[in-house]
Structure 1
């Protein structure tokens, strides 16, 4: 009897040693998700690009995407309760489509998030380099030193307990949101004298010329809400926190960006905003902010843009590290990547490994003389496509999972059938648009398009093939796929 008790105690202790831990609430979890899209970077950098394609329908495009992704969240939240482990899309695809598809999805996720995260070092470097030279009249420091510096900072934060990252992200997000809200208020407040420019916006139509590219660029601003289930072990009361944070994150992101886009339309004018975005894409936000609030406000916004990039990179690194941790826990990747820090309860080895990969990539690109301006659109675009493809696969997995269960368990038809079908069709359309417009997505050549798209699909199908290999040669590892044993 004593031996049995000791064995149970040892097993419990071993399980706890391999579990992450944290104390995030709904607010901190939502802010961690919001940080992924980097609000100020999106408002200053991505919305002007969206305005180029969509003009005064940009706010409506965000509203459409919000509605569609809220529908996706219905099945997503239901799945989080039915598959209560922290594997994210990896666990969901495994549960719905089987272990081979699940492993392929995990490889897509790890690749996607690591590439999305690498948009930050070169963009941070270019932004800070320009600010130091032009605003502060400082020295001309090579871009790679700035890039390596931000990698060290985010890796140090990701190394520690998730609560530290959450506090940093929450603080930065509140400052960013404040700046954007001030911009919105001043824009709407001054619109009374600009009636001739037009104050309203229109909803998009299927016949709009730039609708496909507009949807494609805008949907990436919502990525990262998968973190609500990835942090399952690190939040308070996950059964309540995860659903609330998911819906709040999707709705909050959509409305926040819709209002910001509307503020652009209001200030510049519905008839002029598309042309203005084409002529002044890079500086449209800062020139508008300077005209509305003043030069000092514009400079403050520039500083917060720099911290916004850092926060986004930290958010992505935390998610990527947990995917690496999940795969290592399932023994697909080296077991060292699945180690939990004894004090911080963080996936510290995985966090260090991702930071090291980004650092090595920075050194290689700098030695090869690659311009940082060409790096961040390729990293962001290729990574976003991988995550979008995974979301499309996940929507199918959710439908299949609940469709199979309908024979044995009674589930709400809307949550388990209708919502997953709608999201599957919608994400299928966006995925098709991504494939047909991939060169615009990454801002690269035909050769780069072929290379990165081939690599993306090879990761998914390679993961499927590797899973079959594990089933044949290492059945103990195969049994664990999808965080089935935690």
Structure 2
């Protein structure tokens, strides 16, 4: 084959049979993002932890994070209008810092989402195991069977067209959000609006004890809105859908959780919220729901908590599969992972690979005798740190990208300079807090901290080194990294 022929040959990224397809609208896209944070899991599991660190400033922390991440979204959305491919942060870092850093970012993303998603099987297993044995007086089934069962279900859904996953996620989100809204309303009603009871909340201050950990735990609830650009090829009218879904998702997540945290305070009292959370972190939501509404409502909430974990896992699996698909399409991972299902137009092989990886990990940890209670905090914490680090790198890449373009394509100073600078400072602070508080983030020892943190940074720099290897040994693969389509 001549060099001229090679130069005109289309890569899989540019052929229709290798392109994903779907028909999601703004609502379904927002629900897919919201599912990532697992609303009922957050309200029942993470907000009590946030209250333990921050007390009556918890709603204010969500408000602060919402404002800051809306600022981040300004540059994010603007970038999505210039870099028009579904590579997500991978494509953005490539556009700003070049292909080596982009590949390092892609490795961070794939690792981060794979680990975040693996929080779900053990958490789902211990939650369902307890519900079956305690509430239903059913058999005591080993946790790994539940874990393998949920992996099979989400992998089946991820295999099919994205519209099916979107419908499932939308249904689950509406049900669990309804439970949270009912809890909020009854909590506020129980206080009668009595300010002396302590229905009010305060904004956080830099001198607040525990502020760093509170910010760190709360910011993870916003992860997943990158999906709005990852699904570019699978949404209707992406030029309008992506910006609307991004802003709605960030604002919706922030407001939803701020009100839920406020509802806890309305029920517990501002002066008592932190102590109550410290004394009863695990069962705070269940006990509050039982006291306010009754045991039947609390049991319904537990059932929906189980489906909430499933929805979150499905959302993460879809994102991880699309990162795997992008890297395979670019030639970095085996070509089979870049296959598109002829009928479902889904990255079915990558979806299967993610599920099989989680299944194998479940089997291995079971054989090693690792408790599921120890698995999900490590998986969630280490994965969240990788995604947070990637968000910080991305915010910097967005700033650099638009600074380079100002000489020939100047655009809004607010969107391309000011907002990205604010994002770099804010996400840099959160990343610093994550580094110094990493043991608390993963709930692990000093040795575990050293292993996982070293591995996370090694992923990024290893990706850079591998990109240089590709440039010298496989230039045709290097040329495809990031699949840039820039306006």
Q: Classify the TM-score, shorter chain.
A: over 0.9
Q: Could you give the per-residue CA deviations for residues 331-356 of structure 1, whole angstroms, max 9, x where no partner exists?
A: 00000000000000000000000000
Distance (whole Å) between structure 2 residues aligned to residue 258 and residue 12 of structure 1: 44
Q: How does 1:126-165 map to 2 (within 5 A)?
A: 126-165=126-165
Displacement after TM superposition at 1:192 (Å) = 1.4
Give runs of aligned pairs for residues 76-225 of structure 1, distance below 5 A.
Answer: 76-192=76-192, 195-225=195-225
In the TM superposition, what whole-angstrom CA distance separates every residue of 1:194-240 from its partner, at most 9, and x where no partner exists?
Answer: 65431100000000011000000000000000000000000000000
Following superposition, the deviation at residue 415 of structure 1 comes to 0.2
Deviations 1:51-88 (A, max 9, x none): 00000000000000000000000000000000011000
Separation in structure 1 between the aligned mates of residue 139 and residue 132 of structure 2, nearest angstrom: 7
Q: How does 1:301-320 map to 2 (within 5 A)?
A: 301-320=301-320
Write the distance in 2 (CA, Å) between the matches of 1:456 and 1:9: 36
1:292 aligns with 2:284: no
Unaligned runs of 5+ in 1: 1-7
Whole-Å separation in 2 of the counterparts to 1:407 and 1:14: 30
Cross-structure match for 1:330: 330
Mean CA deviation greater in 397-406 or 192-201:
192-201
Query: Is the 2:41–2:308 Cα contact (8 Å) retained in structure 1?
Result: yes
Distance 1:348 1:485, change over 3 A: farther
Alignment partner, residue 476 of structure 1: 476
**Pair 1:261 & 2:268 matched:** no
1:248 maps to 2:251: no
Change (3 A) 1:452 1:192: same
Aligned residue for 2:64? 64
Change (3 A) 1:161 1:189: same
How many angstroms apart in 2 are the aligned matches of 1:29 and 1:14?
Answer: 24
CA drift at 1:301: 0.2
| Structure 1 residues 360-382: Cα deviation after superposition (integer angstroms, max 9, x where no partner) | 00000001110000000000000
* Contact map agreement 2:386 2:456 (CA 8 A) in 1: yes
Q: Give the Cα–Cα distance (whole angstroms) in 2 for the partners of residues 178 and 71 of structure 1.
A: 29
In the superposition, the TM-score normalised over structure 2's length comes to: 0.97
4+ runs of 1 displaced by more than 6 Å? Answer: 8-14
Query: Number of residues paired by the alignment?
Result: 479
Please state how far the C-alpha of 1:483 moved relative to its aligned partner: 2.1
| 1:216 and 1:430 in contact (8 A); partners too | yes
State how far apart, in whole Å, the 2-side matches of 1:11 and 1:216 are: 41
Distance 1:99 1:341 in 2: 28
Secondary structure in structure 1 of the residue aligned to 2:15: helix
Task: Return the alpha-carbon distance in structure 2 between the equivalents of residues 146 and 129 of structure 1.
Answer: 8
1:50 corresponding residue in structure 2:
50
Secondary structure in structure 2 of the residue aligned to 1:197 = coil
CA distance in 1, matches of 2:398, 2:264: 37
Residues 62-120 of structure 1 show CA distances to partners (whole Å, capped at 9, x for unaligned) of: 00000000000000000000001100000000000000000000000000000000000
2:3 equivalent in structure 1: none
* Structure 2: stretches of 5+ with no match in the other structure: 1-7
TM-score norm. by structure 1 comes to 0.97
Q: Distance in 2 between matches of 1:11 and 1:443?
A: 44
Structure 2: distance between partners of 1:475 and 1:193: 66
Per the TM alignment, residue 11 of structure 1 is displaced from its structure 2 partner at its CA by 8.9
1:434 alignment counterpart: 434
CA distance in 1, matches of 2:195, 2:401: 53
User: How far apart are residue 485 of structure 1 and its match?
Assistant: 7.1
Q: How far apart are 1:484 and its partner, in Å?
A: 2.7
Q: Provide the rounded CA distance (Å) in 2 between the counterparts of 1:130 and 1:389.
A: 35
Deviates more, 1:414-423 or 1:184-193: 184-193
Report the Cα distance in structure 2 between the residues aligned to 1:435 and 1:12, rounded to whole angstroms: 39
